[in-house]
Structure 1
């Protein structure tokens, strides 16, 4: 049997593209198969006739990873990068219906109205609180209630989890969501003492360092996946085609692809599955029922994204900050309202303002299922009440993500172990996605790179490429 490709990557989100590009740079012949008619997955940007730039999924990148930064430069995106304004450092939490700035220093922690004096003292007492033995599957809420107290958990941790994971802190596993904090508490008896006791490992090779940067691109985050697709070559990125079958035959992989009803089979020496977990489960079912079951048991939270555009004279005050998150205790209809044009002025015309209201999540998923009219009405009401915006919006845009963010719930580490066993059995088959290693875009990218590196190592061990085979055949 002759392999048509060194690797087929199933899924054209940022993780799949990162894996493909990692292999491509090493000289391997790679094909990306994406079911949607565009690459990027949840990274999706739209430019409106009114001059607004809408990021309908993630809207910022924050990283201090030199490798990621260098990749963007290699892709020719240096001049397209737009750094966030200094206002992005200011983040707010809704307390009693009013945005209150999150403390950014020990001094501001002491003076913040977010916590009572008792709540502040409880946070500062964390190093002295006895670490009671607990399961690795203790919930995020239970862990932080023990470590920093219920008030700080409800007012700081709860909205953070909602903003990043759209999750329920009572259902998320502390060891899966915050592994370094959980390990620190086990190591040192408290988070603070554990961090201080963490052994410093010197890298074998000195690596350059950079400070964390928050940025986007002139036409939105989707410029990045589109640049990756261009680098791979149009013929090596298939959109509008769905992988519907996978099997190993004689050491090679056969991927069955459905393109508008036309079925074809692609042969490859390796496969990387970079789809959401539920789709990956269908592909690996015939190879490992345990791994397929683990993948199916990873829940996803739905999120609705509502963009509202206003004239600047409709704002009663300047929105100088990243945005505001709503704790569950506030019982609001939104998870957070992001002040997009404060962070990136280029996303709106000079005399306009743009906000992004997020609704749904694991605690109140039904909110993401409302009609567009209901979502817009609710978002507008919250923008008016919380941000003091008056009048009707000039622009409205709704995007729904039924499967927005994977939830690292109880048993998540065991599910990941089942996937690792599958990969150990088949080294030329690797899985990647936001359900592994963190849900943020930079983490999903890094997990994709790692999958590409693991496949490259397996292919290197085989000692040949499809080009080698083709030359020998010719």
Structure 2
């Protein structure tokens, strides 16, 4: 049964899919978003508890210097709901021998830090002068940085950073895929520093506006953003609780089969954007391109559990003055990091309360994320007490478990993405977007979605038809 005609159907209502849909919507195209869950946002999920805590159950901050993103938030009417991070958020810590030690943010800080021995510091500072041959093949993150800054810096600085941001194993992640600018710098200049200094300047005819990087959230948590996009698109143009189960290329248009209302529905559209996790996208493109489907299935995801703990402020033995603390794998702790949510954003907790977020699991110890809720809470409480000096039991506990939390850019990732790009080149009215390409952070996922929307807009413009002509095409 033919239900409706659209210029584009976006499969997946996370921030990437919503960004693609909104990009097309602003250009006057008729867009439909199909989301399998009963809400939009994907891993961006915020709730407010009866106790007055605001919990971000996935990502909890946005950091960007992208003027386009900032302007979009204003266009969506979110200016008054933006909550900037406290200045103390610039202070971040790494756990060494059970003690949080501040990460240096300047050359002077690097010289005085207790995170590295003098030998380790000299190895880092000597990076521009280390003349080591560049491997011709692909290299892991651990191998790449061990060559450039030494094993000690990798163990004490890089390992916890990769675990905290990517939930990844530095021995398995691709340096070229995870840190493309640093990888290219070494190829260009023989070292990270020399290569960055030799980076060619981009010439622009018009001076582009610039802004300093800002870290922020929203009054109701990060979910304020995807909810605002969904409202802008209109209720009838965002279907939640419905799953796309089939995709057919019929030449002049596409057919998308949707399940979720007790029957299968077939939708016709001029273009399709797949904005689901890679393993879901694989099922949709299997009949179109088995090689692309195989590449998508080869992208692993690391599981992560998120435990929110709320305490009375008088339970603190000292102020939590910073963003949080990360744990290197050498510390053999249960957690990847403990974030000090209410220090960064005071509005997420009542004035006399504090809120922490304990993250565990990841690619190195995935089994930790799959423990029972009781075990996760018990472990989080113990780590908060031992590492942060918090006394007593929490007033609030909340567990969120993400079985497929963060895409892993493992060795061979660039070749997998190249396979997807070849599919898109053959079928320009089909685009794929998501955190598995272009970067895992929320701003990068948003930018990937915007890019997919812009490529679809170009393909639709080239066709020179409208959604209304699909009725004739069907005949």
How high is the TM-score relative to the length of structure 1? 0.98
User: Partner residue of 1:220?
Assistant: 221
C-alpha deviation, 1:80, in angstroms: 0.2
Q: Does structure 1 conserve the Cα–Cα contact (< 8 Å) formed by 2:177 and 2:414?
A: yes
User: Partner residue of 2:353?
Assistant: 352
2:103, 2:94 → 1: CA distance? Answer: 7
Measured against aligned partners, the alpha-carbon deviations of 1:288-321 in whole angstroms (never above 9, x if no partner) come to 0000000000000000000000000000000010
Which runs of structure 1 show a deviation greater than 3 angstroms over 4 or more consecutive aligned residues? 467-473
Q: Does structure 2 conserve the Cα–Cα contact (< 8 Å) formed by 1:3 and 1:269?
A: no
Greater Cα offset, 223-232 or 129-138: 129-138
1:389, 1:75 → 2: CA distance? Answer: 40
- 1:176 aligned onto 2:171: no
User: Partner residue of 2:424?
Assistant: 423
1:472, 1:210 → 2: CA distance? Answer: 47
- 1:374 aligned onto 2:369: no
User: Partner residue of 1:333?
Assistant: 334
2:122, 2:216 → 1: CA distance? Answer: 35
User: Partner residue of 2:16?
Assistant: 15
2:301, 2:124 → 1: CA distance? Answer: 31
2:400, 2:180 → 1: CA distance? Answer: 32
- 1:456 aligned onto 2:457: yes
User: Partner residue of 1:441?
Assistant: 442
1:127, 1:178 → 2: CA distance? Answer: 18
Q: Does structure 2 conserve the Cα–Cα contact (< 8 Å) formed by 1:136 and 1:175?
A: no
- What SS is found at the alignment partner of 1:335? strand
C-alpha deviation, 1:132, in angstroms: 1.4
How high is the TM-score relative to the length of structure 2? 0.98
1:172, 1:388 → 2: CA distance? Answer: 34
C-alpha deviation, 1:2, in angstroms: 11
Greater Cα offset, 254-263 or 339-348: 254-263
C-alpha deviation, 1:260, in angstroms: 3.8
1:168, 1:405 → 2: CA distance? Answer: 12
1:20, 1:14 → 2: CA distance? Answer: 10
Unaligned runs of at least 5 residues, structure 1 = none
Give 1:188-199 correspondences, 5 Å limit: 188-199=189-200
1:173, 1:83 → 2: CA distance? Answer: 33
User: Partner residue of 2:315?
Assistant: 314
User: Partner residue of 1:95?
Assistant: 96
Q: Does structure 1 conserve the Cα–Cα contact (< 8 Å) formed by 2:32 and 2:239?
A: yes
Alignment coverage as a number of residue pairs? 473
Give 1:402-421 correspondences, 5 Å limit: 402-421=403-422
2:4, 2:57 → 1: CA distance? Answer: 38
- What SS is found at the alignment partner of 2:17? helix
Q: Does structure 1 conserve the Cα–Cα contact (< 8 Å) formed by 2:253 and 2:470?
A: no
Q: Does structure 2 conserve the Cα–Cα contact (< 8 Å) formed by 1:176 and 1:408?
A: yes
Assess, with a 3 A threshold, how the Cα gap between structure 1 residues 2 and 343 changes in structure 2: closer, same or farther: closer
User: Partner residue of 1:285?
Assistant: 286
Measured against aligned partners, the alpha-carbon deviations of 1:424-464 in whole angstroms (never above 9, x if no partner) come to 01000000000000000000000000000000000000112
C-alpha deviation, 1:168, in angstroms: 0.1
2:4, 2:438 → 1: CA distance? Answer: 31
